[in-house]
Amino acid sequence: MQRRHSAKKYIHMKPEETTEMLKLVHACPVFSSLEEYELKNLLPVLGKKVIPKNELIFSVDQEAKYLFLIENGSCMLSLRGKKYKTMVPGDIFGEIGIINEQVRTGSMRALEPTTLITIHGEKLFNPETVPAKVSLKIALALARRVTFYLRSREQISTQELIQNGETDFVEFKSNLRWNPETQRKDRLIEHAILKTMAAFLNAKGGTLLIGVTDEKEIIGIGEDRFENVDKMLLHLTILIKDRISTIHMEFIKFEVEQLQGKYVLRIDCEPATVPAYLKDHNEEHFYVRTGPSTSRMKTSKIYDYVRMRFS
């Protein structure tokens, strides 16, 4: 099968555009420690290109040559064939391949027309192009970033998340739909699950573990009384599509894991690029995270929050 050629277009910049590009680069945490004169040393390694909607920026096993900083638009990072993370303006990506001098382990695709600032990795760490002192500062910042990524919530095992307890980004629920007090299916139990997911989507993301009590006890999902795991995952998918939206499915990953002989449902929610409203009968509500809890936002506050969070 022939690889589809991308319609990427490089941009030739005017001096004032170059100055603006350096400002954007300096705003990125990887380069923020550089002095103004050090920043100018990066000009030989910087470029800019436009990626059309749905075009691949790079694919699995492709040689890693560039770091990318998003100027505008958005991209989707996929790992092992699964949608993993949405990248937005100000985000930098491609650092793991550059540091390890390896091929890409994931793929990146533009979700909309996207302008990227490109940083040539080989030239960046070539002392004939960029002074070693400047390269060292950048290498240290990239190393800290990669270390943080490897320790991020999405990469931490479910067992470790349970041991660490509930936080602003992690919440435990005993059941998906079963009320142990009434011994029947309960729409309010489902509503509580969906509220938490919507709040994670509207904030900075989070992980919901079902089959775990507030006291960190693993009780499993058996009480929910589904015929099998597939039926449970289908039920959850329908709930999300009906009560939140089909669009938000791309920001949610879920899987069942076996811990201590019991099954736990793990739901990872990324920060969504569009607001998530939860339908409740004939009304829609907007939820956010306030510390380790979920709160419904007042109607008068929603507009300003959405404008700042999703603009």
Asked if residue 2 belongs to a domain, the reply is no
Looking at the structure, tell me whether residues 146 and 254 fall in a common domain.
no
> How far is 69 from 90, CA to CA, in rounded Å?
6
CATH number at residue 128: 2.60.120.10
> How far is 169 from 156, CA to CA, in rounded Å?
12
Looking at the structure, tell me whether residues 121 and 222 fall in a common domain.
no
> Can you give the pLDDT at residue 118?
95
Tens of pLDDT, residue by residue over 119-167, are 999 999 999 999 999 999 999 888 877 776 665 666 678 898 999 899 8
Nearest one of 169, 156, 205, 190 to 292, comparing CA atoms? 169
Looking at the structure, tell me whether residues 139 and 193 fall in a common domain.
no
> Can you give the pLDDT at residue 5?
41
Tens of pLDDT, residue by residue over 8-65, are 555 566 777 888 999 999 988 889 889 999 999 999 999 999 999 999 999 887 888 8
Looking at the structure, tell me whether residues 231 and 245 fall in a common domain.
yes
Q: Is 305 helix (H, G, I), strand (E, B) or coil?
A: helix
Tell me which amino acid residue 218 is. Answer: I
> Can you give the pLDDT at residue 290?
86
Domain boundary residue, one of 150, 185, 215: 150
Looking at the structure, tell me whether residues 189 and 293 fall in a common domain.
yes
Asked if residue 3 belongs to a domain, the reply is no
Full domain range(s) for residue 306: 155-310
> Can you give the pLDDT at residue 95?
85
Tell me which amino acid residue 3 is. Answer: R
> Can you give the pLDDT at residue 146?
75
Looking at the structure, tell me whether residues 104 and 217 fall in a common domain.
no
Looking at the structure, tell me whether residues 48 and 119 fall in a common domain.
yes
> Can you give the pLDDT at residue 81?
54
Number of domains in the chain: 2
- E strands in the chain: 9-10, 46-51, 56-58, 66-72, 75-79, 82-87, 92-93, 106-110, 114-120, 170-173, 178-179, 184-185, 206-210, 252-259, 262-269, 277-280, 283-290, 293-296
| pLDDT, mean of residues 158-181 | 92
> How far is 145 from 30, CA to CA, in rounded Å?
8
- Specify the residue for token string 């040559």: 65
Looking at the structure, tell me whether residues 108 and 190 fall in a common domain.
no
Asked if residue 22 belongs to a domain, the reply is yes
Looking at the structure, tell me whether residues 116 and 32 fall in a common domain.
yes
Domain boundary residue, one of 150, 180, 195: 150
The first and second tokens of residue 117, run together, are 């600032």
Give residues with Cβ within 8 angstroms of 107, minimum separation 6.
56, 58, 59, 60, 77, 78
Domain boundary residue, one of 150, 173, 188: 150
Give residues with Cβ within 8 angstroms of 81, minimum separation 6.
none
> Can you give the pLDDT at residue 299?
94
> Can you give the pLDDT at residue 186?
96
- Percent of the chain scored above 70 by pLDDT? 90
Looking at the structure, tell me whether residues 161 and 135 fall in a common domain.
no
Looking at the structure, tell me whether residues 178 and 278 fall in a common domain.
yes
pLDDT band at residue 98, thresholds of 50, 70 and 90?
Answer: confident
Looking at the structure, tell me whether residues 159 and 124 fall in a common domain.
no
DSSP 47-103: EEEEE-TT-EEE-TT-B--EEEEEEES-EEEEETTEEEEEE-TT-EE-HHHHHHT-B
Asked if residue 129 belongs to a domain, the reply is yes
> How far is 30 from 27, CA to CA, in rounded Å?
9
Nearest one of 155, 169, 129 to 44, comparing CA atoms? 129
Asked if residue 249 belongs to a domain, the reply is yes
Asked if residue 77 belongs to a domain, the reply is yes
> How far is 193 from 201, CA to CA, in rounded Å?
13
Asked if residue 4 belongs to a domain, the reply is no
CATH number at residue 224: 3.30.950.30
> Can you give the pLDDT at residue 160?
85
Asked if residue 1 belongs to a domain, the reply is no
Return the number of other C-beta atoms located less than 10 Å from residue 129's C-beta: 15
> Can you give the pLDDT at residue 83?
56
* In the predicted structure, residue 88 carries a pLDDT above the cut 70: yes
Mean model confidence pLDDT for the chain: 88
Q: Are 244 and 197 in contact (CB under 8 A)?
A: yes
Give residues with Cβ within 8 angstroms of 45, minimum separation 6.
119, 120, 123, 124, 129, 130
